[in-house]
Amino acid sequence: MSLGRAITLGIGVCLWPLLAQDCPPVARVLPNGTLAGALDAASCQLGDRTPYAPYRLDLSVRGQIKIELSGNTGDFSLTLRDASGIRVDSGASLLRPIEAGSYTLLVNGRAAGQTGNYAVNTSFTSEPGMLCANFPNIGRSQTVTGQLPSSGCLALDGTPYEAYTLTTDGAGTLTVAVTSQDFTPVITVRSIDGNPLSLPSASPLNVVLGGDSQYVVIVSSADKSTGAYEIANTYQEADNETCRARKTLADSDSDSNAITASSCFVTIAGSGDQSYYNYYNFTLTDAGLVSASAVSGDFTATLNLLDAAGNTLAYDSGGGGSDAQGNVQSSLRAQLPAGLYRLQVFSDLPSGGNYALKYAFQAGNPQPCTAGPLNFGDQLNSALTDASCRASVGLSDLYTLTLPSAGTVDLDIGSGAFDTILAIRDSKDNLIVRDDEVDGLGVAHITADLPAGVYTVAGAAASGAGNYQLAAKFTAHDIPDCTFAQSLDLNGGFIQRLGPRSCIAANGQPVDYYTFTLAEDALVLAVMTSSEVDGYLTLYDARGNLVRNDDNTYGSGDPLIVQYLPAGTYKLAARDASATVGGLYQVDLRTVTGPRPPFCTPKSTVTAGATVTGVITYTGCQYTDNSFADLYQMNLTADAAIDLRLNSSEFDAYLVLLDSKGAVVDEDDDSGGNTNSRIARNLPAGTYFMVVKPFGDYTSHGAYTLITKIL
């Protein structure tokens, strides 16, 4: 590990209050709605000791959001963070474009000890012609209030709906009851891939579900009215189901148990392997600190703490050190409000084995994490233990780092005991940059060019605990403004190396800027590809306002932005998604002038018996499986036997048939011969939608022929 001495900023002993932790978001704020709360002595605290209240915001489609504070707020402010903890925006009110995904919204006081009531009002407008996906979670036994419409989701026939993702442990029967004073609810349950498990039904609805699966619960209106509603789920495990809660935990409790072949399991995506676990339920009637630990001589346990909806609030693997017999102990802590929760104990071995679980609850106010000093030029030898801070990045030690001037910060953390994480946060605990060790090397490293200021460094463990070494260097220098932007051809590409000659982004990492000008309105595709850089693209207008950004939504490690833009000049920023040493990448830009494409709105209504030709390109619908597709509507005035064929010599054709609400009626890959698709079946009268797409990702495209026949 390289060491250097430039500036020493004080000497001290690093002390942390016992059982300190960040507060995870448990309460949810709707995309369109109002919530009320208060900051008081029981509120969580940021690193600067200002109080805050965290909320979860889930968006199933991109659009424009407005968030405002009202009430007796004094100097309260809002901070919106993305799923990684990076600040997206902040202020007394927020108005901005926003991508689909999960966010954390903080209501924050500007001074320590500040108190008062507040109300948060949200307003969201979805971008038209988009499909909704990645819906907020809902528990198998949970009651949730909602608003129709709120998410901006529309069925293919234009009907607004709200949807939730439900994950099962074991098989059983789900009962969904929806009540509303404003409209007559309709409930539908589908598999995660869109196949209906029930017909649209009045409340309540009973449906049998399998274990280790995900489902979508949909709420809509029978009479096109809208308003508030309450959805209540209850779940009855099947009589022969062995995946059940091992125990309902009390305030201070323990359990000796075993993970076996009859335990619950999840199937690991991509491998088909199964990971086995047991789970426990518990209910908190007051806010306070939850502590849990699991130790086993047969396997290393992973503990997951879930809220009532199934969102992961905290996790740990090996963070509790070892017991007297040398067995690895996993341990977690979390400050939680009153509510229903679940604790999972996973085995890292398929064979499982015996374990001992301890659980405790202590009512009281949260204890914030405290940072000790980090001195440039010194090597700090310390250890992560069960008493270390439980921060959003995991089991952590926090350090205050003060930069007297702008310059380059160079940080290293190394450990032979745990998988290292290194992060830099600002004074409001927003993530600036993070690096995780790879390939079991035991070392994480960050180099960042940052302005003068006070920062927090987190040395954390992805799993495990134990001794580590942390070193910091600093080289003072000005950070030059970047005025150069490489001009991009409207239908061309540019190969570049991200690295020392690049500009410096707000996170202290290298970034390259590109500019292009549209003489007329056009659909624009921008893609960044690399085998060396985990790409991240941001699109700005001529005034520097954010238009779109993307990490790897449309491909593994490759960002892709598709946006219809008015004539004008725009700028692209290309960087790594986190800390990087740089590398080669390519930015490609494609444009199609003319009116805005229909995207996921049907291109046309096809008469049964007609033949349609087209070309799959990025002007089509961005489908839920990362491919581009064209949609066509078909109306049947009477029951009929249909024969649909999708032929293409340029891509592996895949045909999906949807009903008017977007449920999958049928789908096919190669039944039409070679790589062509065919769907032949009897259909009742009604409105249907044909999804013409490749069997692949966004790189598949080309010409096709869609043939429809009535037999």
* Contact in structure between 53 and 43 (CB atoms under 8 Å): yes
In angstroms, how far is CA 269 from the centroid of its own chain? Answer: 17
Q: Are residues 182 and 88 in the same domain?
A: no
Sign of CA dihedral 26, 27, 32, 37: negative
Asked if the structure places residue 582 within a domain, the reply is: yes
Read off the tokens for 389: 């801070």
Containing domain of residue 522, as a range?
A: 486-593
* Contact in structure between 408 and 474 (CB atoms under 8 Å): yes
Asked if the structure places residue 6 within a domain, the reply is: no
* Contact in structure between 549 and 537 (CB atoms under 8 Å): yes
pLDDT at 19: 64
Whether the bond between 149 and the residue before it is cis, its omega within 30 degrees of 0, is yes
Does 185 score more than 80 pLDDT?
yes
Structural domain ending residue among the three candidates 68, 95, 126: 126
Asked if the structure places residue 495 within a domain, the reply is: yes
Q: Are residues 492 and 551 in the same domain?
A: yes
Q: Are residues 545 and 625 in the same domain?
A: no
Q: Are residues 504 and 460 in the same domain?
A: no
Q: Are residues 319 and 269 in the same domain?
A: yes
Read off the tokens for 99: 């991508």
Asked if the structure places residue 3 within a domain, the reply is: no
Rounded distance between C-alpha atoms, residue 390 and residue 170, angstroms = 31
Count CB atoms within 10 A of the CB of residue 678. Answer: 18
Q: Are residues 470 and 379 in the same domain?
A: yes
Rounded distance between C-alpha atoms, residue 469 and residue 416, angstroms = 10
Sign of CA dihedral 83, 528, 133, 183: positive
* Contact in structure between 551 and 82 (CB atoms under 8 Å): no
User: Dihedral angle at the C-alpha atoms of 598, 602, 604, 608, nearest 10 degrees?
Assistant: 170
Structural domain ending residue among the three candidates 220, 237, 254: 237
Asked if the structure places residue 17 within a domain, the reply is: no
3-state SS assignment for residue 160: strand
User: CA separation (Å) from 72 to 30, 69, 117, 431?
Assistant: 21, 9, 5, 29
Cβ neighbours of residue 313 under 8 Å, at least 6 residues apart?
24, 26, 305, 306, 307, 334, 336, 341
pLDDT 10s digits, 479-488 = 999 989 999 9
Q: Poorest-confidence range of 15-24, 143-152, 214-223, 340-349?
A: 15-24
- pTM exceeds 0.85: yes
pLDDT 10s digits, 233-278 = 999 999 999 999 999 999 999 999 999 999 999 998 777 789 999 9
Length of the chain: 711
Asked if the structure places residue 26 within a domain, the reply is: no
Asked if the structure places residue 20 within a domain, the reply is: no
pLDDT 10s digits, 62-72 = 999 999 998 76
Asked if the structure places residue 135 within a domain, the reply is: no
Q: Poorest-confidence range of 248-262, 309-323, 357-371, 547-561?
A: 547-561
Q: Are residues 539 and 508 in the same domain?
A: yes
In degrees rounded to 5, what are phi and psi of residue 11? -130, 135
Q: Are residues 341 and 402 in the same domain?
A: no
Q: Are residues 323 and 386 in the same domain?
A: no
Structural domains of the chain, count: 6
Q: Are residues 589 and 614 in the same domain?
A: no
pLDDT 10s digits, 356-413 = 999 999 998 998 898 999 989 888 999 999 999 999 899 999 999 999 999 999 999 9
685 exposure class (CB count in 10 Å sphere: 0-12, 13-18, 19+): exposed
Longest CA–CA separation in the chain, Å: 85
pLDDT at 73: 59
Q: Are residues 258 and 231 in the same domain?
A: no
Structural domain ending residue among the three candidates 448, 476, 504: 476
Q: Poorest-confidence range of 378-392, 549-563, 634-648?
A: 549-563
Mean pLDDT of 520-526: 96
CATH of the domain at 581: 2.60.120.380
pLDDT bracket for residue 15 (50, 70, 90): very low
252 exposure class (CB count in 10 Å sphere: 0-12, 13-18, 19+): exposed
Does 707 score more than 70 pLDDT?
yes
* Contact in structure between 559 and 615 (CB atoms under 8 Å): no
Q: Are residues 292 and 327 in the same domain?
A: yes
